[in-house]
Structure 1
Amino acid sequence: MDVAPPRIATLGILGAGRLGRVLARLGASAGYRVMVAASGDPVPIARAVAALGATASTTASVIAEADAVVLALPLHRYRMLPAEQFRGTLVIDAMNYWWGDGVRDDLSDPRTSTSETVQRFLAGSRVVKALGHMGYQDLEDEARAAGAPGRKAIAVAGDDPDDLDVVCRLVDDLGFDPVVAGPLAAGIMLEPGAEAFDADVEAAELRAMLERFPRSQRGIVVARARGGRLWGKGSGPDD
């Protein structure tokens, strides 16, 4: 008999922008206790967050109390996170690099995914890439019950199989079919410049997009930068 993966009881969200608010509403609607933190005092966002079914709190409280913490912040702010407090925490990276935030060599290097960069900074945490490749408006509009016709898919990338199972269950609970993209390094297939970024498609098409990545222009650039392979054995553009 298959055993369902553990379910997150308290979902933390760092970031009270449009993505953070959508995820808070979806999480609360799915029965999660949701805590949201913005930078600074939680009082200014308390009423708006409560209307979503969530609770506004401080960053420190969210990290301490949540079973998993979603990073729904502008990516260039990742170095402002209190890294030591994240030790042992399951972190769901929904951030993306935008050139409009300024050219950053550390965030545009094809030799590494941005989630790997976040993982190195948050040493001791367990980072999974998810919930960032679909636009927030599509997240808002497309959530559907499991098995519903036309249900859309969200890809998940991470190194720990148990963490992948937990995040996949979260994605399913939020209203989307989870698709495992591969290890954390495979998160680069979900970043701007890749076909799957901004995709609002069903699971079969999302899997096809991921399979096409090695032969795409971006995939070839990434593979060349990584010495001919994307990540691990058997994942090069010629495999």
Structure 2
Amino acid sequence: MLNTLKNRFEQGYRTCSYPKEKPAVFPRYRGRPIIQKDVSQEMVEMCADACPQDAIDIALKKIDMGRCVFCGTCERISNGAFVQFTGDFEIATSKKEDLLTNGDLPALAEHSKQHFKKLFGRSLQLRQVSAAGCNACEADLNVLATPFFDLARFGINFVASPRHSDGIVVTGPVSRNMKTALLTTYDAIPDPKVVIAVGSCTITGGPFLGSPEITEGLDTILPVDLFVPGCPPHPLTNLHALLTFFK
């Protein structure tokens, strides 16, 4: 006990102050993309040809964050003349179409369903399902339980049983072999329930887009309430999405 108290005194308070204060992220982090409005069509086409995810809409000069894996290729080859990735991690949306953006995103709090806030505002229990994920999105969800993020202080927890949960958090491209297990888990959650799609793979199929072995978008099989883009989404992106949409 004395050693525990000694360590606590030496280490001090380690939990981040978010959402009261917005912490700085690592300089190389790529968050919300900003499209340069005066970019030439030739430059847009060059970036679109190089994009491994086909995430650039040439006609609209926008980026689909649901497909984007934030590799930064378009920023590098255009030297920032087409797009610049900012350090803004607050990029979740309640509508999939809003992920196609030139940098502007609707205020998530204004688009959240108010009955969710009434139902789950003080306690939100979630069941996480990795539907053939690579473990990147899963790892950045798991880290929310560490003392630095301390998700439980907001009344949000991940639980072992879907019967004890208020919703489901899905990661991975939803492979053919995981689809039945996912749907069974969803059915086991009592109504009313929420569905959260985390990561590019879950939202659109990610790098596996076009494969017959995966589901190209969770919203094609389940009603999705919250989309959290990224590959993987930063833990603060997940935290912002949950706090803003439900609290």
TM-score, normalized by length of structure 2?
A: 0.35
Scaled by the length of structure 1, what TM-score is found? 0.36
**Structure showing the higher helix proportion among its residues:** 1
Pair member with larger Rg: 2
> Which structure has the higher relative contact order (CA within 8 Å, separation 6+)?
2
